[in-house]
Copies of this chain bind each other. A is one copy, B any other.
Amino acid sequence: MKNWIEQEYRNRIQAESVNDSLVGKRLFFAGWAFRYRDQGGVIFVDLRDRSGVIQVVCRKELLGEEFSKVEKIRSEYVIGVSGTLAFRDSDSVNPKMVTGKYELIVEKIEILNASKTPPFALDEFDPTGEEVRLKYRYLDMRREELKERLISRHKLIFAIRQYLNDESFLEIETPILNKSTPEGARDFLVPSRLNQGQFYALPQSPQLFKQILMIGGMERYFQIVKCFRDEDLRADRQPEFTQLDMEFAFVSEEDIRREIEAMWKFALDKVFGVKINTPFETMPYHVAMEEYGSDKPDIRFGMKLVNVSELVKDSDFQVFSGAVTTGGVVKVICVPGGANISRKEIEDLTSWLNRDYRAKGLAYMKHGASGLESTITKRFKPEVLEAIAKAVGSKEGDMLFFGADSSKIVNASLGALRLKLSEKYDPPKTEYNFHWVVDFPMFEYDDASKTWTFLHHPFTSPKEEHWEMLRDWKAGKTVDLSKIDAKAYDLVLNGTEIGGGSIRIHNSEIQSLVLEAIGIDEASAKDKFGFLLEALSFGAPPHGGIAFGIDRVMMILTKGQSIRDVIAFPKTQKGQCLMSEAPGFVEGKQLEELKLRVVTI
C-alpha cells in the first residue's frame, strides 16, 4: 500500500530548497501539516519539514477519491505529497514565507501518521511554561526557536572540529568511568559491581588525562566531551555539560591564545557570518578587578569603577573615611544620564546589593547644573567633589554611585550594579566582545579555612620569574604567596567566562612546591593523582591547554536565556528530565548486585 511512497523517500527534497528552476517539475515532499485551510474542494496545507514550510494545494478535482484523505488531515499529521511545483498567482504570493511565491499542486498524497492535538501551539509565540515544553521536548523541537538552536549547535561544534583537525589536533576519547578525587566540586559516583564497595566517578573534566596525553606524545589534543558536577543547581547549571577540552605540547601562553582566537574567528564566521577581530584584547586580572570589579568584565560599555579612596579618606563623611582607614576602599561609577533614577529605584538597588553582595549601603550623588549634589555633599570640600567628578568623568545629568567597604565587597557590588544599569544607561556598543583576562594570582588565601588554595588548579604553572619566591617560601623566608602569578588565562565573551586554561607544571620540583604551598602532602598527593606525578618524571614535555563551556558559548551566540535553551534534553534545577522522568527508583535486585542499600534518615 505504502510502496509508492517508500520509493519516493529517496527523491524527497526539502521545502526551502525549491527555486525557480524547479517550477513545472514533479517533486516529492514529506513532513508535518503545519497549518491548513479548507476552502471547500480545495485544501491548502502548509507542509513543514526541517528546512521550513511550503504550501501544498490539494484539489478535489485532481485528487478524486484520494481527496477524502486530505480531509482527514489535522495539525501535526505526517504526510507525504507528490505533485508539480508552480508559481502562485501574484495576488497570493506570501512575501513573509521563504517559499512564498511557490506552491505544490498535489497529485498524490499519503497520510503517514496521525497526531493528537499538541498541548501548545507550534506555529507562533506561545506563552506555555518551560515545564510543559520540557515534558514534550519533541514538540518544542518542532518550533523554529529550539530547532534553529540545535542546528546551530551542530554547525558550531562541527566547525570547531574542522578547524582543529586542519590544525593537526587529534580528538582522543578519555574515560567517563574514572576515579573519584575529592578536589573541586562534588563527583557523581557510579558503584562498581565487579569491584564491590568501590566506585567510579564521572569526570568533572579530563584534566589529568589530557596532561597524560601530552606526556604520551600526542602533542595536540582536543575533545568535545561531556563533563559532570553534582552541584546544587542554583544558577544556570546542568549536572552534565559539554566541554571543548584542549591541550598543546611545546607551547607558550601566547601561542595558545593565537590559536584559540583563530578558531573562534573561523567558527563564528562560518556558522553565524559574524566577523570578529583578532587578536583579542588582553587584560591583567588586577585591572579587571580594579576597573570592573570582576574577573570576567563585560567591556562593551563604560561605567568603570574609579578608586577615589585617596580623595575621600580625610572627608567628614565617616562611611567613606572609615572604610579607607580600616583597610577598605571607596569606588565610584558614573551612570551616564542616570540623574533621573528615582529615590525608590535607588532604595531597591540598595537592598538588592545588601542582600546579594553584603554591601552596607549605596551612597550616590547627582551631577547637577552646579556639580555634584546630594544629601552628603556638604561633608566634602568643594575641591574634593570637583576632583571626584573629574576622576569619574561625569557631566550634568549623570548619577554617581559609591561603594565603601572591603575591596572585595565594593568590587562585587559596584561590578554587579554596573551590569544591571548597562542596558538602560550605557548599552553595549558591539554585539560580541571576546577578551582575555591574564596574570591571575596562583594562590588565594581562604579566610574560612585559613589556608592557601589554588585559583585555577594545582597543575597550573607559576610564572618562571616567581619560582624563586616559592623556593624562598620553602626555605622558610617570609613570602607573600598572593604575589605569585600563574600562567593562567580566561576567555571572556560579553561578560561571561566561556573558557579558561593555563600552562601546566612539567617540572617535578615546582609541582611539589605548589602542592606543599596549598597543604597537600606527599602521601595525599600520591593518593589523589599519583599517576600524573609519576608520569611527570618520564619526560613530560612543556604543555598547556584550555577548556570551553560549549553550552554557555552557544547560549550567548544564539541569544538564549538559559543553557537549557541550547541543550536537546536538559534537566531541571532538581536534576530531573521531565520527559523521560529520570532519575527514578530501581529494582531491589539492582542494588543487591551492587551490595548497596539506600539508607533512610
Contacts and interface: CB of A to CB of B under 8 A. Distances in A.
Interface string A250-261: 111011001000
A226 B584 contact: no
A384 interface: no
B138 A579 contact: no
Interface in A561-601: 567-569, 571, 574-577, 579-587, 590, 593-601
A188 B228 CA distance: 16
Given A137-B216, A212-B138, A538 B116 contact: yes
Given A158-B161, A161-B158, A217-B141, A115 B538 contact: yes
Contact of A174 (B49, B182, B568, B593): B568
Contacts of A585: 197-199
A114 B583 contact: no
A420 B52 CA distance: 55
A77 B170 contact: no
Given A190-B188, A251-B9, A240 B177 contact: yes
A250 B80 contact: yes
A194 interface: yes
B538 A209 contact: no
A518 interface: no
A151 interface: yes
A419 interface: no
Contact of A177 (B50, B538, B541, B583): B583
A417 interface: no
Given A138-B215, A506-B113, A78 B539 contact: yes
B584 A198 contact: yes
A189 B209 CA distance: 23
Contact of A217 (B6, B50, B219, B240): B50
A85 B583 CA distance: 62
Contact of A582 (B200, B218, B250): B200
Contacts of A597: 596-597, 599
B141 A170 contact: no
A194 B118 contact: no
Q: Counting chain B CB atoms within 10 Å of each CB, which of A141, A242, A579, A584 scores highest?
A: A584
A179 B580 contact: yes
Given A138-B215, A191-B189, A213-B568, A165 B175 contact: no
A457 interface: no
Contact of A139 (B80, B161, B216, B586): B216
A173 B583 contact: no
A218 B150 contact: yes
Nearest to A32: B539
A464 interface: yes
Contact of A141 (B174, B213, B571): B213
A115 B541 contact: no
A531 to B, nearest CB: 5
A335 interface: no
A542 interface: yes
A186 B593 contact: yes
A208 interface: yes
Given A250-B30, A581-B531, A538 B215 contact: no
Interface string A481-508: 0000000000000000000000000110
A584 to B, nearest CB: 5
B199 A76 contact: no
Contact of A542 (B113, B182, B252, B598): B113
A206 B186 CA distance: 26
B180 A584 contact: yes
Nearest to A195: B583
A176 B7 CA distance: 36
A354 B137 CA distance: 53
A266 to B, nearest CB: 15
B537 A115 contact: yes
Given A579-B531, A596-B596, A567 B173 contact: yes
A35 interface: no
A251 to B, nearest CB: 6
A77 B217 contact: no
Nearest to A116: B537
Given A113-B539, A113-B542, 18 more contacts: A6-B252, A9-B252, A10-B254, A32-B539, A48-B217, A78-B539, A78-B542, A115-B538, A138-B216, A141-B218, A142-B217, A154-B165, A173-B242, A173-B568, A175-B580, A177-B188, A209-B568, A595-B598
Q: 7 nearest interchain CB pairs?
A: A141-B216, A115-B539, A179-B582, A138-B216, A76-B539, A198-B583, A192-B583
14 contacts: A76-B538, A112-B542, A138-B538, A141-B218, A142-B216, A173-B568, A186-B590, A191-B191, A192-B583, A194-B574, A212-B569, A595-B598, A595-B599, A596-B598
Interface of A: 1-2, 6-7, 9-10, 12, 30-32, 48-50, 76-78, 80, 112-116, 118, 136-142, 147, 150-151, 153-154, 157-158, 161-162, 165, 170-180, 182, 186-202, 208-209, 212-213, 215-220, 226, 228, 230, 232-233, 239-240, 242, 250-252, 254-255, 258, 464, 506-507, 531, 535, 537-542, 567-569, 571, 574-577, 579-587, 590, 593-601
